[in-house]
Amino acid sequence: MNFDLTQEQEMIRRTIREFADEEVAPGAIERDRTKEFPVEIFRQLADMGMMGLPFEEKYGGAGADTISFAIVTEELSRACASTGITYSAHISLGGAPLNLFGTEEQKEKYLTPICTGESFGAFGLTEPNAGSDAGGTQTTAKTEGDDFVINGGKVFITNASYAKNLALTAITGEQDGKKEISAIIVPTDAEGFKVIDNYEKMGLNASNTTELVMENVRVPQENLLGKRGNGFRQFLVTLDGGRIGIGAMAVGIAQAAFDRALRYSKERKQFGKSLSEFQVNQFKLADMALKIELARNMVYKAAWLKDQGRPFSKEAAMCKLYASEIAMEVADEAIQLHGGYGYMKEYEVERYMRDAKLLEIGEGTSEVQHMVIARHIGV
Ligand SMILES: Cc1cc2nc3c(=O)[nH]c(=O)nc-3n(C[C@H](O)[C@H](O)[C@H](O)COP(=O)(O)OP(=O)(O)OC[C@H]3O[C@@H](n4cnc5c(N)ncnc54)[C@H](O)[C@@H]3O)c2cc1C
């Protein structure tokens, strides 16, 4: 067993950490306030070759592994979780299904612009009446000649305003009396396709979360992604990988909250002593560090299993569940250690808590992760 990062992973960590500290962190409070999408940061990430990090070089990717993806997501989220979720969804929800299930032609056409950063990656699964029960999809794609004609709607879709194409699920027919759900690649500028960007969110304010409306959107049948009727299964596989991204985001936010809490507790004096001299606060900080260490190990383990081509679904659910819950706990404790100042935006810790909450909800709620784990342990 070897817990050391490889030279390449170390180099990626050094590069992205420096970038996160110098370019991403400084504007995070302002972007949280203005809700401005970090376009310039992503232009720079594209120049650094990060936008297609785990995909093959022939599509413009960098051919790196999942651990490297987790490291980049963690470091970006430590500086600004809105940037982190944009990146994580771009790679693991936007690029990954194309990479896993696309034909050679589809990859060249749709994955390449994602890798170069020309287009953002996005993924349309959730609907108003199909969230945790994603199989409850009501969007339909009827076959008409050589085309699919799509009608329906999606909610809470990350990055769609900045995506040129995205894969979404729709009912394409019936199989043995059950809905046949397929994945279809849809250009976002197709006639009848509307992207609405007007959610008022609790956090992750600089990330793009959208509603999609499809009214008689016509796409050629060659835009089917993977096998007809396999859409639901494909999206479950995609979500397994996405959960590593959410776990990594959670570790990044928790690390940021811990770093702030440690620094502040050494600086702030009450009763003639720094807060860190009180044993109760030392224990709080020790618990925070312990939780982050365990969460990071679990994220890396899930990523490592994926890189080995081994089953990782249970570990991805475990890392997502544990890391997202400790991110909330650590952010909450960081606010507590800051006292009244923690309640003020300037100290950043309140943003960490607002941003972290999404991680217990997106890509399968904590309850859904428990269901996945229960299934794997034979309950
Ligand atoms: C900011 C943001 C970004 C997102 N990005 C995307 C995206 O890019 N693409 C995409 O497709 N989706 C995206 N989502 C959607 C997200 O994945 C869903 O919100 C999530 O899966 C939960 O679905 P729901 O909101 O319909 O909640 P529901 O499924 O209605 O759940 C409500 C509550 O009921 C619980 N519950 C549901 N079923 C059960 C059960 N069987 N047993 C016990 N408890 C249960 C849930 O755990 C939850 O606590 C995003 C959401 C947000 C908020």
**Tens digits of residue pLDDT in 319-376:** 999 999 999 999 999 999 999 999 999 999 999 999 999 999 999 999 999 999 999 9
- Tell me which residue of 56, 60, 65, 50 sits closest to 9, measured CA to CA: 65
| Residue 48: Cβ within 10 Å count | 16
Give the chain's radius of gyration (CA, Å): 21
Task: At 319, list the tokens.
Answer: 């890392």
Q: Whose CA is nearest to atom 31 of ligand 1?
A: 132
Task: At 134, list the tokens.
Answer: 């994603």
Band (1; pLDDT cuts 50, 70, 90): confident
Q: Can you give the pLDDT at residue 291? A: 98
**Ligand 1 pocket check for 362: Cβ under 6 Å:** yes
Question: Maximum Cα–Cα distance for the chain, whole Å?
Answer: 80
Catalytic residue of the set 8, 222, 363, 367: 363
Residues 6+ positions from 197 with CB-CB distance below 8 Å:
160, 161, 208, 209, 210, 211
What are the residue ranges of helices labelled H in 225-269? 231-267
Which atom of ligand 1 is least distant from the CA of 364? 21
Strand locations in the chain, DSSP E? 123-124, 140-144, 147-158, 165-175, 178-187, 193-196, 209-220, 224-225, 269-270, 273-274
Ligand 1 centroid from CA 132, angstroms:
5
The rounded Cα 302 to chain-centroid distance in angstroms is 15
Per-residue pLDDT, averaged over 60-80, amounts to 98
Residue 16 one-letter amino acid? I
Per-residue pLDDT, averaged over 111-124, amounts to 98
**Ligand 1 pocket check for 125: Cβ under 6 Å:** yes
pTM over the 0.95 mark: yes
Q: Can you give the pLDDT at residue 221? A: 98
Which atom of ligand 1 is least distant from the CA of 126? 11
Q: Can you give the pLDDT at residue 321? A: 98
- Tell me which residue of 87, 56, 57 sits closest to 70, measured CA to CA: 87
Q: Whose CA is nearest to atom 25 of ligand 1?
A: 131
Ligand 1 centroid from CA 37, angstroms:
23
pLDDT tens figures, 191-217? 999 999 999 999 999 999 999 999 999
**Ligand 1 pocket check for 222: Cβ under 6 Å:** no
Q: Can you give the pLDDT at residue 176? A: 85
Ligand 1 centroid from CA 67, angstroms:
26
Q: Can you give the pLDDT at residue 346? A: 94
Ligand 1 centroid from CA 365, angstroms:
6
In the residue annotation, 200 being an active-site residue is answered as no
pLDDT over 90 at 175, yes or no: no
Residue 71 one-letter amino acid? I
Ligand 1 centroid from CA 297, angstroms:
26
DSSP letter for each residue of 121-173: --EE--BTTBSSSGGG---EEEEETTEEEEEEEEEEEETGGG-SEEEEEEEEE
Which atom of ligand 1 is least distant from the CA of 124? 11
Q: How far apart are CA 200 and CA 249, in angstroms?
A: 21
Burial class (CB in 10 A: 0-12, 13-18, 19+), 211: middle
Residues 6+ positions from 73 with CB-CB distance below 8 Å:
84, 87, 88, 91, 245, 248, 249, 252
